[in-house]
Amino acid sequence: QPVLTQPPSASASLGASVTLTCTLSSGYSNYKVDWYQQKPGKGPRFVMRVGTGGIVGSKGDGIPDRFSVLGSGLNRYLTIKNIQEEDESDYHCGADHGSGFNFVVFGGGTKLTVL
């Protein structure tokens, strides 16, 4: 099964843009990845799914247009433009086996701080 790697932290100034990265382990470049946002003390919230062709399916409920994704090689990116205070959260990426579904793995999460 794949291993997903995320940097533990990131920061960006209010109104700026930031790109978060989730890296799949070697051999899994065809895998899609799901991004989740988690605020302190809350359950995660689905943001969107990304493959090498970009977004797969629809964004999660209420996810602003400021959020977008890209995929390239082993990397899956989540970009947030015009960062707002409410975007300060932990961001997790996850991957499952699709229709086979016998495993699900998550990255360690990235804590995004808005300066």
Partner 1 sequence: QVQLVESGGGLVEPGGSLRLSCAASGFTFSDYYMSWIRQSPGKGLEWVSYISHDSNIIHDADSVKGRFTISRDNAKNSLYLQMNSLRAEDTAVYYCARYHSEFDYWGQGTLVTVSS
Applying CB under 8 A, which of residues 19, 25, 28, 46 lies at the interface with partner 1? 46
Are 67 and 59 in contact by the 8 Å Cβ rule? The answer is yes
Binding region for partner 1 (CB under 8 A) out of 17-25, 63-71, 75-83, 100-108: 100-108
Nearest to 110 by CA among 96, 94, 93: 93
Q: Is 104 a binder of partner 1 (CB under 8 A)?
A: yes
In whole angstroms, what is the distance from residue 49 CA to residue 46 CA?
A: 9
Q: Is 60 a binder of partner 1 (CB under 8 A)?
A: yes
Containing H/E element for 72?
A: strand 67-72
Q: Is 107 a binder of partner 1 (CB under 8 A)?
A: yes
Q: Which is nearer to partner 1, 14 or 104 (CB)?
A: 104
Report DSSP state, residue 100: G
Applying CB under 8 A, which of residues 36, 71, 76, 78 lies at the interface with partner 1? 36
Among left, alpha and beta (phi > 0; psi -120 to 50; other), residue 94 is beta
**Binding interface with partner 1 (CB under 8 A):** 34, 36, 42-46, 49, 57, 60, 92, 94, 101-109
